Structure 1
C-alpha cells in the first residue's frame, strides 16, 4: 500500500505557479546550487548527449555544450516557460535509459516519495550515467524554526518541511541503486532586515509550507515571531538565517566502473603503516 504523501502536491504546484513571475528576485539559493553543480560537473572528464533538468524552475541550468536537454517542473508556469514537461519527480514520464546526465537543483526536499524519485532517476539514466542533485537540508532555517517554536509556546505545530541530513542523503543514494555515491554540503548564511523579508524570499523561491497538514498562522503568533526574530538581530539590525545546501553525486551502475576494494583485501597491515622508519 502506497504511504500517504506528507506534501500536498496541488499546493506545491500552486506555490510554484505563484512564484514563477517574480522568481528572478529570489533565485539566490538555486543559483548557489547551480554553481556547486557546475563545479562538480567540470571535474567529470566525459561527454554527455542527453540531459534532464529535473525541477527546472526558470531553465537557468546551462547544460554542457552540444547536449540535448529535456526539462521538467512540477509547476505549469515554469514548465511552460522552459518549453518543458509538467510532472512530479517521483512520477517521471520518461523512458528507462533515456539520459546520460540528470541534474536536480532545488526541488527534491519537497518530493512526496524521495526514495522513489531517486530510483526513477537511476532508471532514466543509461549505464554509467551521472546524477547531480542539490537541495536544502541539514540544519537549514534554524533561526526560523527557533523563532516559531518560541512564538507558539507549549503547543507548536509543524510549519517547516522535515530536513534531510548528510548521512541520510548518502544512504538514499545507495538505496536507489546509484554507485560511487557522494553526499556533501555547503552552508550559506543570509542576513535579513526583517522577518517579513525572510518570508518573502521563501514564498518567492516557492519554498513555503506545502505540508499536507497545514495550520494558519495566527496574528498573535506572527507578532511574537516578528519580535523574536528582531531580538536576535546583530547591532546592524540584521538577523542571520542559515541554509545548508546538500549536494548529491551518484552514477548509474555499469560493468566497467571502478569498485571499492573488498574488505580485508589490503596487503599492508596497520602496524606496518604506523611503524617508524627504520623500526
Structure 2
C-alpha cells in the first residue's frame, strides 16, 4: 500500500507565509496568542532565562521575545536537547503534519521542570465560513472539495500532551470574534496572516466567483450582526511540564486517610446490604 501523502503541503504553506510577511498586514491573531502566552506566564511562580519560540513567523515573534531563540516550525525543529526552561509553540501547531512529533521535540528541548506553552487555532475557528462555504458548494456542485484546514477539538488536543510525555498537562481555550463588512475583507485578513488553505489534497481547479457570491449570501443570512459578518477564532492553549522529581505526584489509590464525607462536612448515606435505597 502506498503511503498516505501529508495533510499539509509545506511548500504552499511557506509560500503563503512569505506572501503575508510582504503584505505587512494585521497579525491580530498572533497578537492575541502573545497576550494569552503572557497571561499564563504571569500566573507561573517561576522565572525563565532560556526561552525558545517555535513559529512560522520568526521575525514577528522575535520582536516580542528578543532574547529568545526563535526557530521555524519545520518537521525537525532546530532546538538542542535539554537547552531551554521555556518553549513556546506559537500559532503553528494547527499546520503541523505531525503535531505529537512537534510536542515531543519541544519536550526534549526542555530541562527537567521546564514549561511548554502551545497556542494555536482550534476547531471552532471560522465555523461560520466553513458552514456557509459547504452549503454553497453543495448547492452549486452537489459535492464538497477539501478547501478548509481540519482542526482538532479541545477534548482530543489535550491528549496530545500525554502522548508527548508531558507532566501536569492542561488544555484550555479562549474564543475571539471579529466582524467584517464583506467576505472579501475576511479572506484578505486570512491571506495577510498566512492562514489560507495549504492542503496537499486541496482542489486544483479554478474557484468560480459564483461560489463566493453564494457563500457570502448564506453567510450574511445566517451569521451577520448589524449587517456585518461575524467570524469566530478559537485559540487553544496547551500547557505541559517536562517531568521532574520535584513535581507533585497523584496519590496512590486507597491511600487517603480522611473520609470524603468528613472533608465535605456531610453525613455519609448508609445503603442497605442489597445496595438499594
Which TM-score applies when normalising by structure 2?
0.87
Deviations 1:42-75 (A, max 9, x none): 1112222211111062125634xxx94111125x
Question: For residue 106 of structure 2, what is the aligned residue in structure 1?
Answer: 121
Which contiguous aligned blocks of 4+ residues in structure 1 show a shift greater than 6 angstroms? none
Q: Which has the larger radius of gyration?
A: 2
Pairs within 5 Å for 1:211-230: 211-215=199-203, 216=205, 217-230=207-220
- Cα distance in structure 2, aligned partners of 1:228 and 1:175: 40
Counting matched residue pairs gives 261
Structure 1 264/202 Cα, relative in aligned 2: closer, same or farther at 3 Å? farther
Q: Give the equivalent residue in structure 2 for 1:186.
A: 174
- Partner in structure 2 of residue 10 of structure 1: 11
| Structure 2: distance between partners of 1:38 and 1:28 | 15
Asked whether the 8 Å contact 2:114–2:242 carries over to 1, the reply is: yes
**Residues 234, 209 of structure 1: CA spacing in aligned structure 2 closer, same or farther, 3 A cutoff?**
closer
**Contact 1:56 1:71 survives alignment (8 Å):** no
The alignment yields a C-alpha RMSD, in angstroms, of 2.3
1:222-261 equivalence runs, <5 A: 222-232=212-222, 234=224, 236-261=226-251
Distance in 2 between the 1:3 and 1:53 partners? Answer: 30
Q: CA deviation at 1:269?
A: 2.9
**1 CA distance for matches of 2:223 and 2:99?**
36
- Gaps (5+ residues) in structure 1? 75-87
* Deviates further, 234-243 or 27-36: 234-243
Alignment deviations for residues 186-238 of structure 1 (CA, whole Å, 9 cap, x no partner): 00011111111111111111110011111142322122112222323545210
Write the distance in 2 (CA, Å) between the matches of 1:39 and 1:244: 17
Unpaired segments ≥5 residues, structure 2:
270-277
Q: 2:145 matched to which residue of 1?
A: 157
Question: In the alignment, what sits opposite 1:70?
Answer: 69
Distance 1:60 1:239, change over 3 A: farther
